[in-house]
């Protein structure tokens, strides 16, 4: 096995995607106002539903594995919770109360809340109000000073990490009494606090938009990647000790924990990259998880190949350029990374999407067997 499954789902960039619980269905947006839901059939994806409720570009989505509810958000300042009923996906109203574009969305671990980041310098934490049959929101505002670009929930369902374009990563209390009851307790990130309290604020000191943020499976570690070509990890179990690598790689767009000591990142270099964070809080760069394939010169380039190169790589194609083209699995920047099998404590598969319109499913065990010295654990 090559260690990966490659699917060409769109001729346009894939803005965001999400799997259902068993990965038999995938939802994605091809950089417009639509959401496409495909169902897996053998080695391909069959076209299914197209959701068109959004008026502008869809910017984020998340699929609750247990509730089977899909939540989407968009530049039209709206979010919808989709329920599959009577053979159709039906949207449910969400009262976001924002005056700028929504940028990202994430379900809480118990799926009784979800958070929406926005350009309005705030986070809307939404929960279901049964009396009115809609989703309402509470706002986290201070001390956010710019667009919220990424979100991730703590495993305890009470804390929320957010990265923004003010160069900061923060941990907030997302405790809502109407939902969480009396479960608010002290955590390793700070004492129990009311909704919206900022428990921690981090910066690597250099400055760069925070594109991706991720709690580890234990919730004791927090990783984030920035546009200053950096990755940082802070360990709350060790007095918030922070480790940062600022390398010669291009900026990463996303990160996710694959084990308690391993982080998978991806971005403008077109390939996933593994980082390790050991018990001494030392952060080290591991290996690139995609070995570039060698291309043989074909002598001639078809018209279709020329157009494909123009579309995906923004360059012209002739006999020599075709041979010197991108040799990685992804042909353009990777925009999202998700664990698709296993969990953050022991991932067995992860999935990436990119500007090239591809979805790639990577098998961890196959990668370990094909790349010498690689160990994701």
Cβ within 8 Å of residue 71, ≥6 positions away = 61, 62, 63, 64, 79, 80, 81, 82, 94, 105, 107, 114
Model confidence at 304: pLDDT above 90: no
- Of 271, 182, 170, 252, give the one whose Cα is nearest residue 215: 170
The reply to whether omega before 143 is within 30° of 0 (cis) is yes
At 369, is the pLDDT very low, low, confident or very high (cuts 50, 70, 90)?
confident
Tokens read off for 97: 């109360």
Record the pTM. 0.90
> What's the average model confidence in pLDDT over 260-288?
95
The larger pLDDT score, comparing residue 260 to residue 192, is at 260
What is the percentage of the chain residues whose pLDDT exceeds 90?
Answer: 80
CA pair distance 13, 39, nearest whole angstrom: 20
């Amino acid at each position: 096995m090559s260690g990966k499954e490659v699917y060409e789902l769109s001729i346009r960039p894939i803005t965001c995607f999400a799997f259902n619980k068993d990965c038999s269905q995938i939802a994605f947006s091809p950089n417009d106002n639509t959401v496409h839901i495909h169902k897996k059939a053998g080695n391909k994806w069959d076209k299914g539903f197209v959701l068109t409720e959004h008026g502008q570009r869809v910017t984020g989505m998340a699929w609750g594995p247990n509730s089977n509810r899909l939540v989407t958000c968009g530049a039209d300042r709206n979010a919808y919770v989709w329920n599959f009923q009577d053979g159709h996906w039906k949207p449910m109203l969400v009262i976001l109360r924002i005056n700028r574009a929504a940028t990202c969305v994430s379900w809480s671990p118990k799926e009784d809340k979800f958070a929406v980041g926005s350009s309005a310098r705030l986070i809307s934490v939404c929960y279901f109000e049964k009396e009115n049959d809609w989703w309402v929101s509470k706002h986290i505002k201070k001390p956010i000073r710019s667009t919220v670009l990424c979100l991730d929930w703590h495993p305890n369902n009470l804390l929320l990490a957010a990265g923004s374009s003010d160069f900061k990563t923060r941990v907030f209390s997302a405790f809502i009494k109407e939902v969480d009851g009396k479960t608010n307790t002290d955590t390793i990130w700070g004492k129990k606090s009311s909704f919206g309290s900022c428990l921690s604020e981090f910066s690597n000191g250099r400055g760069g938009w925070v594109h991706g943020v991720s709690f580890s499976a234990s919730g004791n570690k927090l990783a984030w990647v920035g546009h200053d070509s950096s990755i940082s990890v802070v360990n709350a179990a060790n007095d918030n000790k922070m480790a940062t690598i600022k390398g010669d790689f291009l900026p990463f767009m996303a990160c996710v924990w694959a084990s308690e000591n391993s982080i998978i990142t991806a971005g403008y270099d077109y390939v996933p990259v593994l980082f390790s964070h050991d018990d001494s809080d030392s952060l080290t760069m591991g290996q690139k998880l995609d070995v570039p394939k060698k291309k043989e010169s074909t002598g001639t380039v078809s018209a279709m190949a020329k157009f494909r190169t123009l579309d995906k790589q923004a360059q012209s194609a002739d006999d020599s350029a075709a041979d010197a083209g991108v040799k990685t699995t992804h042909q353009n920047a990777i925009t999202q990374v998700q664990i698709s099998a296993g969990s953050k404590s022991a991932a067995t598969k992860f999935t990436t999407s990119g500007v090239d319109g591809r979805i790639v499913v990577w098998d961890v065990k196959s990668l370990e067997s094909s790349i010498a010295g690689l160990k994701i654990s």
